[in-house]
Structure 1
């Protein structure tokens, strides 16, 4: 992981944490995926919170010079996807996260230590 990746991940995680997201997972999928290098996955308790989390990620990311070129899911707030550079952010309503269970599809020992970014609510 280069410094730019680490900084982008840190900005995104801290934005999510600021809006009280929880159950953070950061997956390095660079060796098993051609679409991206990292997945950041987190949860919110309701649709309003997931949209607020996504808005915070966009605001903070843009201030740091990140370009988000794909955004979807704002209409329902159940599963919001944001794509920037080599990171895809998945912000789930807690019920949707259980249904889709992305971690079990992609985990395969690729999880990064979220605590290194100072995230309080990672579980």
Structure 2
């Protein structure tokens, strides 16, 4: 162990007290309470709310996923190694492919109501 006695003990050898942060200005919002029920109500009734048809589709998709799970099956989405397109497969609980599934079979074949311009 080398000790250099020529440098002496400097200010950095002793711990300093921590510096205090600047005081935040008083805005009256300390411990402000948010009414979550009111926020949800505004979100669900506002002009940009999620349409009921979408909630129905989400519920139905959840039911279908639960039905498949009870049978020990699931739908797996992958990228085709040659085309780089999304493909779907029905798989068992061990991940073995039972059969390919057409995306139209999963998502339906209804035309997009608002196609990209």
User: Larger relative CO (CA 8 A, sep 6+): 1 or 2?
Assistant: 1
Q: TM-score scaled by structure 1?
A: 0.27
Q: TM-score scaled by structure 2?
A: 0.28
